[in-house]
Amino acid sequence: MREFTYSRAVTLQEALTRIAPLANGKFLGGGTNLIDLMRENIERPGYRDRRYPPVVRNQ
Amino acid sequence: MKEQTPSTQNRRAPSSTIQITLEINGAAHTLEIEPRVSLLDALREHLHLTGTKKGCNQGACGACTVLCNGDRILSCLTLAIQYEGMEITTIEGLGTAGELHPLQVEFMEQDGFQCGYCTPGQICSAVGMIREFRNGLPSAVTKDVSARPVELSEEEISERMSGNLCRCGAYLGIRTAIRTAFQSEVIP
């Protein structure tokens, strides 16, 4: 599994604030099917694929 | 080994570990791990609690089942870092060699295993399943979901334990062990 950073948010607002500046942030919560997909490199949160330029968000 | 190009090296984020504290079987354990370490690997590789088994590592077999605040979870599909502040119980915390958990006794009495690899997961899952049943949680085979199921039938046990595979096929013994332990009403 590729490396990533992890952050725990307690409120909805906090979650949205934290994920906003990230190019490829993902939510991990109850019922999400993310970690098994990350293990197979299907999902790659926090990883910028060299085929695609990093997403730049307008502030 | 193929030499890495500079651009490949630049793509790698620096390896970063963080310090987390997990409460496992009533004891606090502090460990330095990367966020990508699963709870299963944290238990087995970092804390050497090898009672919890790695089967498929993709959430299909149930061998890695542990209890989190009493609920059964698949430790291979979770990150250890998610479980800070929660109470984790593994097979090592359910019983000791001198004082076995009632389900451990019945698994031995009723031949609830052959090779034994799935057994820690089966037992943790059964503990969680009995708790769910007692709390009135219906299953897919519960006829009337508005009524509390009164009987933990063979069909109910099969359905509720369907997330735990046994490649030896000891299902008859597993079901008998769970039913017997449940009926003896000694399960905490």
**Domains located in chain B, CATH noted:** 18-94 (3.10.20.30), 102-184 (1.10.150.120)
pLDDT of residue B16: 83
CB within 8 Å: A50 and B11: yes
More confident residue, B9 or B178: B178
Dump pLDDT digits (tens) for B64-105.
Answer: 999 999 999 999 999 999 999 999 999 999 998 899 999 999
The yes/no answer to whether this complex scores an ipTM above 0.85 is no
pLDDT of residue A47: 62
More confident residue, B15 or A53: B15
Q: What percent of chain A has pLDDT over 90?
A: 19
CB within 8 Å: B58 and A36: yes
Structure tokens that stand for B84 in this block: 């800070």
Which residue of A1, A34, A35 is the best one to mutate when testing the B interface, meaning the one whose CB has the most B CBs within 10 A?
A35
Contact B118, B65 (CB under 8 A): no
* pTM tops 0.90: no
Picking from A3, A6, A48, the nearest residue to B79 by CB comes out as A6
Query: Rounded mean pLDDT of A30-40?
Result: 86
